[in-house]
Structure 1
């Protein structure tokens, strides 16, 4: 299997979800920008996958990230980010979404488990009400402290400024 085989359009993903559900697979969903892959991302996604059988990752499009984080982001284009995320063995599906939040995607996917990092309270997680009403679970997983794309970018900028 190539990493590109794990990148889905929404209609393709919905078909694949039917197959997995018929096999009795528990579907876990999370989302994010994943602009620069780092230890914090790997640890988080590994823990998320352990909460079920299949991990679906909603990935913000370039447009979505720019509207959230500003015109200088993302650092990598959406297909590059999608391919990197799909290459991880514990990520089973990657699907792009173009809005500021994954709410509509969560409604379509109907995950058994919705996961975010423990920097969120359950009540702050977009889609928590919909997942709970449908009988699913909403969970947080502990994050590795000190790792974020923003921190990495700041460190690079600081080093560049020091060398000028």
Structure 2
């Protein structure tokens, strides 16, 4: 049976940690669908505007070979609706979200992948600032 994988993220200041997560997620199924956080969602969850606007972040993710489809994620609370809409079999998130989406297990497999050590968007932004 063909498996569809879905994942979500802001993907601001795209770095190798993002790429590693997306490539590993893609290997878990036949297609990878990515929800990119809107600017408004990023502001509500992180308290700041993203460095790059949502349209540019979407274009970057769409350009990756491992990604089959991209959409804008408007709300963290709509995960189930997105999973149903895209008929996802597997939800993949970074392990920094560990346990937060276990409630979705009746509808899909939930996998938390380890983050790439020593890299984060916050760290990259801080390096640039200093």
Q: TM-score, normalised by structure 2?
A: 0.90
**1:53 aligned residue:** 30
Superposed displacement of residue 69, structure 1: 1.5
**2:103 aligned residue:** 129
Gaps of 5+ in 1: 1-23, 159-164
Runs of 4+ in 1 over 6 A off after TM superposition: none
**Equivalent of residue 77 in structure 1, options 50, 53, 69:** 53
**2:111 aligned residue:** 139
Provide closer, same or farther for how the CA distance between residues 120 and 65 of structure 1 changes in structure 2, counting only shifts above 3 A. closer
**2:120 aligned residue:** 148
Structure with the bigger percentage of helix: 1
Gaps of 5+ in 2: none
Provide closer, same or farther for how the CA distance between residues 133 and 100 of structure 1 changes in structure 2, counting only shifts above 3 A. closer
Contact 2:8/2:73 (<8 A) preserved: no
Superposed displacement of residue 101, structure 1: 4.2
Q: How does 1:54-133 map to 2 (within 5 A)?
A: 54-71=31-48, 73-103=49-79, 104-121=81-98, 123-125=99-101, 128-130=102-104, 132-133=105-106
Aligned residues: 129
**1:38 aligned residue:** 15
The structure with more radius of gyration: 1
Aligned with 1:52: secondary structure? coil
